[in-house]
Chains A and B, each alone.
Chain A
Amino acid sequence: MAWQKLCPLEEIPALGARVVAHVEGDIAVFRAAGDAVFALIDACPHKGGPLSQGIVHGHKVTCPLHGWNIELDSGRACAPDEGCARRYPVRIEEGEVWLDV
């Protein structure tokens, strides 16, 4: 694991996400309300839908394929759905987004 500088925060759309290419599978880096950033594996626990492409609201994202809601901070699916997407540590430093992979 090592911290990697990704991009300036403003290159991630507000209430949106960008995809980071990673050998273990794409990682979705989200910019939620209040510029809170989160990173999850870019695969919904349901059927592997790309979470990075979903609508971000509050600290949740809705998967574009079948509408599961995933909590960005825990990676857990909201009830009554069950499942979990892997989390990655992410932070902002001097306007740059850093990811620990």
Chain B
Amino acid sequence: MQKQKLVMVGNGMAGVKTLEELLKHAPDRYDITVFGAEPHGNYNRILLSPVLAGEMTLPDIMLNDLDWYRDNGITLHAGRKVVEINRARRIVRADDGTEAHYDRLLLATGSVPFILPVPGKDLPGVIAYRDIADTEAMIDAARNHRHAVVIGAGLLGLEAANGLVLRGMEVSVIHLGGWIMERQLDKLAADLLQASLEAKGMKFHLSAQTAELVAGESGRVGAVRLKDGTLIAADLVVMAAGIRPSTALAESTKLHCERGIVVSDTLQTITDPRIYAVGECANHRGIAYGLVAPLFDQAKVCANHLAGFGIGRYQGSVTSTKLKVTGVDVFSAGDFQGGEGCDEIVLHDRAGGVYKKLVLKDDKLAGAVMVGDTADGAWYFQLVREGKVVTELRDHLMFGQSFAQSQLGDAGHQGQSQAALLPDTAEICGCNGVCKGTIVKAIQEHGLFSLDEVRKHTKASSSCGSCTGLVEQILASTVGGAYQAVDKHAKAVCGCTEHNHGEVRAAIREQKLLTIPAVMKALEWKTPNGCATCRPALNYYLISTWPHEAEDDPQSRFINERAHANIQKDGTYSVVPRMWGGLTTPDELRAIAAAAEKYKVPTVKVTGGQRIDLLGVKKADLPAIWADLNAAGMVSGHAYGKSLRTVKTCVGMEHCRFGTQLAMDLGVKLEKMLFGMWSPHKVKLAVSGCPRNCAESGIKDVGIIGVDSGYELYVAGNGGIKTEVAQFFCKVGSDEEVMEYSGAFLQLYREEAYYLERTVHYIERVGLEHAKKLVVEDAANRKALYERLLFALRDAPDPWAEQQAAPLARHYKTIPLNLDDKGGLHGLAETVSA
């Protein structure tokens, strides 16, 4: 098939991201030609400020150098500006006469700075702040001149001013508004920021209107005259009074423009479907985005369409105004002005240079603005975006995430805010042994922008995830404002789909989908049979939503659940027979001992869940060792599954002089009830006979503590990577109630949690109140949940017994090859049957 021709006008971040995504999907579909007005490859425009400030150099901020274009077979016309599009002939023409024919055209022309229409605007020494040439002009001016004026005290203007001050110029900032950065800051925050900038030597003229730029003796600009007559010396004038989508080219070819080139959800222009537009030049549903994250979202959808998949839709992005003025930390998000119906919590330390305001509305965080200390910005933004009820946190909210969570029993492992200060040798990810320098290097060398990309390239934060906060901060400090944290709950399940876990669960329930292929068809999966991330999740959602009806697909389960044993690093397996409530008998112990000897088990260990682990069993021996254990009355302990693991018990009132309840008896009953329960993640229970809590009920998914008058139930504890103390759920009087309340809670978790979400994370997401309302307060709902659990668990089979029968047992055997005496091969291999 002949390749189609794709021409891209504009060579910036959004456009090139689109090409990168396109090359991933369909590397051979197009002959690609790129026109860029600047004589460079693609660079990270956001990092121009550090370049101006002398903290970085141009090579540091290149994302795609010229070699990249060559290696990918892309024709790059750098330094050539497209001046005409002929839509009838499908040709673009550049200022030097270069022409290119297109089948598809991608406009990524970005934006242009707004130049004040004042006399003198065209004088030498008057520039905007947009690209490498402007940055170089400023660096050059700083070498040879003394006075600079920046018009506009928005983020860009202040960064320009800051860079020029650092390069030794005397800088005045002229601003029309009553305070600086009025779109991102309230007055108090702005005053504080202004004070710290003044301390660095910047001068401010607020509520000031520029009347004229006056030429000096050399013909270069010499001064700025304000409306009130004030004259300010200026050898350099930087216009930073805002940007406009660059639409002149699009308008000249009669594409519909209205504060941007108007595009549909597929990023096609509404005038001509052959033409796409992405980035700052595009107007999608009335918004022209200026932040990187939404532009990258657009790029992905656009690439998907260009590749001919035609399934992605861009539906707009939730953006924050998370900002970092070079040198001074500034953050704002959401509605930070407050007003009617809002409460404000304010911390104002003028001398210390710290100001924080949190705006609360309807028990939720509506917005935040901070200057000086922005360590908790990401956390506040997350609370704003997720619309989480913060009633419980309110007293501690102002003091930041680690303090607030420590008050709620959270040890706070994420270590916010220190990332930027850490040395390169500091270990960030303990699981995979990744230090800070490695992460920074990967981000710079590969042009990474998202947490997922960093995970893929460095493995950091890809195991336990407790360093995620740190990695996100490193990302933020390395790529600057280009980084925007994504809402992990709204994120797609994996690269195979656009849908998130919640949407997939809902579709399975509402459309009564019963097989993985049916889900993939209904939700338009992008891959023919998913991947190792989505298939196990889908399988769980199916069997938990439609027990006894949906098809359980062993090939979509992780090996441990397929082989019903836990794979070890050498490829052998561990075998753990169930010991109900941690109780065993001499006969069982004899059978275990015999099996350990018969199958030459190298290691026999007592587990933390009160049972015995036989480690180092060969896969081929599994069915036989299970048969021996089954013969002695034992069944699978499910020590390998996202399922009920153990119910740990203390000896209870049966023996203990302090015991108040029959802990062992209740533990056995619970474990028998929950046998064979598959769940989003592993589930552990404990029953203690008295508040001395010898079974460690305080760190279990469901922990039960006997007291004189009955039982206390605790939920959502976790003894793993990050110890989480279980939270008090309710108090009940009888064993039957313990079974019903625990069962109902676990069923709620099974129905609502996302795959691989432990109870603690599930409760953190939905709130303990939610679970209490549905389980403790609503008796009818509790009984219904409990019924559904018992229905799902009805006739739960022992997987060990099932696996010994044909044809399943076949999969445990290796296929032998026939060898002759000399070790060579002869004849045919025997076929293996079960």
List residues of A whose CB falls within 8 A of some B CB.
2, 4-8, 11, 13-16, 18-23, 26, 29, 33, 47-50, 53-58, 60, 62, 64-65, 67, 69, 80, 96, 99, 101
Contacts and interface: CB of A to CB of B under 8 A. Distances in A.
Contacts of B814: 18-21, 26
B535 A55 contact: yes
B832 interface: yes
Nearest to A50: B571
A4 B829 contact: yes
Interface of B: 446, 456-457, 527-532, 535-536, 554-556, 558-559, 562-563, 567, 569, 571, 807, 810-811, 814-819, 823, 825, 828-829, 831-833
A53 B529 CA distance: 17
A65 B563 CA distance: 14
26 contacts: A4-B825, A6-B815, A6-B831, A7-B815, A11-B807, A19-B815, A21-B816, A21-B817, A33-B529, A48-B571, A49-B571, A50-B567, A53-B571, A54-B559, A55-B532, A55-B535, A55-B558, A56-B555, A57-B527, A57-B530, A58-B527, A58-B528, A62-B532, A64-B559, A67-B532, A101-B817
Contacts of B555: 13-16, 55-56
Interface secondary structure of B, over-half rule: loop
B641 to A, nearest CB: 14
B828 A4 contact: yes
Contacts of B532: 54-55, 57, 62, 67, 69
A58 B831 CA distance: 27
B811 A16 contact: yes
Contacts of A96: 831
Contacts of B536: 55
A57 B525 CA distance: 13
A57 B828 contact: no
Contact of A4 (B567, B811, B817): B817
Given A6-B815, A53-B571, 11 more contacts: A15-B529, A16-B555, A19-B814, A20-B815, A26-B814, A29-B815, A53-B562, A53-B563, A55-B558, A57-B530, A80-B457
A4 B816 CA distance: 10
Nearest to B453: A80
Contacts of A14: 555
A80 B532 CA distance: 17
Contacts of B556: 15, 55
A5 B826 CA distance: 11
**Top 8 A-B pairs, shortest CB-CB distance:** A62-B532, A55-B532, A53-B559, A15-B555, A50-B571, A5-B828, A64-B559, A21-B814
Chain B CB within 10 A, most for which of A53, A96, A99? A53
B36 to A, nearest CB: 27
A7 B532 CA distance: 27
A33 B530 CA distance: 11
A11 B831 contact: yes
Nearest to B828: A5
B665 to A, nearest CB: 39
A73 to B, nearest CB: 15
A74 to B, nearest CB: 16
Contacts of A80: 446, 456-457
Given A21-B816, A33-B528, A11 B825 contact: no
Contact of A57 (B456, B531, B562, B829): B531
A35 B421 CA distance: 54
A65 B831 contact: no
Contacts of A20: 814-817, 829
Given A21-B817, A47-B569, A80-B456, A5 B559 contact: no
A44 B819 CA distance: 26
Contacts of A101: 817, 825
Interface centre among B528, B567, B814, B832 (most CB of A within 10 A): B814
A64 B527 contact: no
A11 B834 CA distance: 9
Contact of A21 (B457, B811, B815, B825): B815
Contacts of B823: 23
Contacts of A50: 567, 571
A24 to B, nearest CB: 11
B426 to A, nearest CB: 22
Contacts of A15: 529, 555-556
A5 B827 CA distance: 9
A56 to B, nearest CB: 7
Contacts of B457: 80
B419 to A, nearest CB: 22
Contact of B819 (A23, A26, A62): A23
